[in-house]
Amino acid sequence: MKIFLFIGILLSFTSSALAQSAIENIKSFEDSLVTSLEQIRTAETLKEKFVLNIRFENTLRKALRYDEAFTYKFDDLSKVMSTKTSPDNAFRIFNWNIEVPGIQEHYFFCLVMKYDSRKGEYVIIELFDKSKYATRVEYTLYNEKKWFGALYYEIIPVKKGLNTTYTLLGWDGNNRMSNKKIIETMAFQGRDKIKFGLPIFKQDEDTKRRVVFQYSKKATISVKYKLIKRKEYIIFDHLSPMSGQLVGIPDYLVPDLSFDAFVLESGKWKYLKDFDARTGKSRNDKIFTQPKETSFPNN
């Protein structure tokens, strides 16, 4: 009995020592990653940026070989890229971008870390940004090999029955004239497949697979997830043209101090026009009353 107790203590000590060693290694990789990303962003040519990016991704993959990377905070790295974990701990994203010098367009990169319960190990799924070739963006289904790239800042699990899909809020620097905010959906298929663009955004008779807001580079808009009175909302600035002569040109859209929203109902996001965050009501509701002032803060 004492022998088994000793073996148990020894194994526990060994496991703890290995975990501590892994954390120290991850920290070392993190320091290198922060430096590498700073070098990428200060490089003068796109070719230089991509060469440095290969080194950056190789180092990141080395860090993600450790299981402890899933729960490691990456405090310093999180300041310069996205390292978000889903609220249900199903996966974690490592998401960054490269800005093209001069024209301010962006290339996006993402590694998704996910636990494979059948094999008892973490797998890494790489996403390949094909947004430069995208058409009919709000109505197209994508996958991990053909991804509409963005830099994600929020992950929202949407559970319906036994299935969970995820709504992602993201940003795209787009070009010199405009930025984009993106509401994306994703779901896992098997061990290492991802589907992007589930048709769950309902607006009148229209159903979209994702929502894209394009707006002037001179403006800042807010797209936020909020829980209000036990209901889930995505609340966003309503965009209007700077002047009547610029109608229909996304590069000149700016917030007009009103808000719209999506509310989650039966696994789908339903559009609400002229939303008031204080009451959780919109003009779509019969009992809506006009608030005296907008209470939802802008970003």
pLDDT at 155: 98
Model pLDDT for residues 127-163, shown as the tens digit of each residue: 999 999 999 999 999 999 999 999 999 999 999 888 9
pLDDT at 83 over 90: yes
- Report how far apart, in Å, the C-alpha atoms of 156 and of each of 120, 186, 233, 290 are: 25, 10, 10, 29
Burial code (b: 16+ CB inside 10 Å, e: under 16) for 160-183 equals: eeeeebbbbbbbbbbbeebbbbbb
| In the predicted structure, residue 292 carries a pLDDT above the cut 50 | no
Q: What are the angstrom distances between the C-alpha of 34 and each of 57, 228, 255?
A: 12, 37, 34
Instruction: Give the pLDDT confidence of 240-263 residue by residue, as tens digits.
Output: 999 888 888 999 999 999 999 999
pTM over 0.75: yes
Within a 13 Å sphere around the CA of 11, how many CA atoms are in the beta-carbon half?
Answer: 6
pLDDT tens digits for range 99-118: 999 999 999 999 999 999 88
Q: Is the pLDDT of residue 27 over 70?
A: yes
Residue 259 near residue 237 (C-beta atoms within 8 A):
yes
Count the helix, strand and coil residues of the chain and give each as a percent rounded to the nearest 5.
25, 40, 35
List the one residue out of 94, 96, 98 whose CA is nearest residue 48. Answer: 98
Q: What are the φ and ψ backbone dihedral angles of 136, each rounded to 5 degrees? A: 45, 50
pLDDT of residue 17: 54
| Beta bridge partners of residue 112, listed in sequence order | 93, 125
